[in-house]
Amino acid sequence: AQSVAQPEDQVNVAEGNPLTVKCTYSVSGNPYLFWYVQYPNRGLQFLLKYITGDNLVKGSYGFEAEFNKSQTSFHLKKPSALVSDSALYFCAVRDGSGYSTLTFGKGTMLLVSP
């Protein structure tokens, strides 16, 4: 069975500082990894994905994530946080080796203070 762990319910960071939102996964085959963001009263918005290739993936709004196979991690990062980045972030995984549904983590609330 595949699973995703987001160990932090909430991450607090000051505006202008770098941010990291952690994600680890478990999947039997090749991991296809995704990050989504949910702003208040909105649906989930796709940020970025890792399918294959370069371990560092760049996405929307200046976010990036690094795939680390040995640590089974896919942490979301941004060099300089903005107050407008405050939202709920979800990591998700799918087994790319065959048919598989998307499994989400519980979500991490990111709060960026001015």
The residue ranges that bind another protein (CB under 8 A) are 4, 32, 34, 36, 41-46, 49, 51, 90, 92, 94, 96, 99-107
CB nearer to another protein: give 12 or 30.
30
CB nearer to another protein: give 13 or 33.
33
DSSP state for residue 6 in the 8-state scheme: -
Comparing CA positions, the residue from 27, 28, 31 lying closest to residue 3 is: 27
Least Cβ distance, residue 28 to another protein (angstroms): 15
Least Cβ distance, residue 44 to another protein (angstroms): 4
Comparing CA positions, the residue from 98, 108, 107, 106 lying closest to residue 31 is: 98
CB nearer to another protein: give 8 or 96.
96
Q: Which amino acid is at 36?
A: Y
Q: Is the dihedral of CA 56, 57, 59, 65 positive or negative?
A: negative
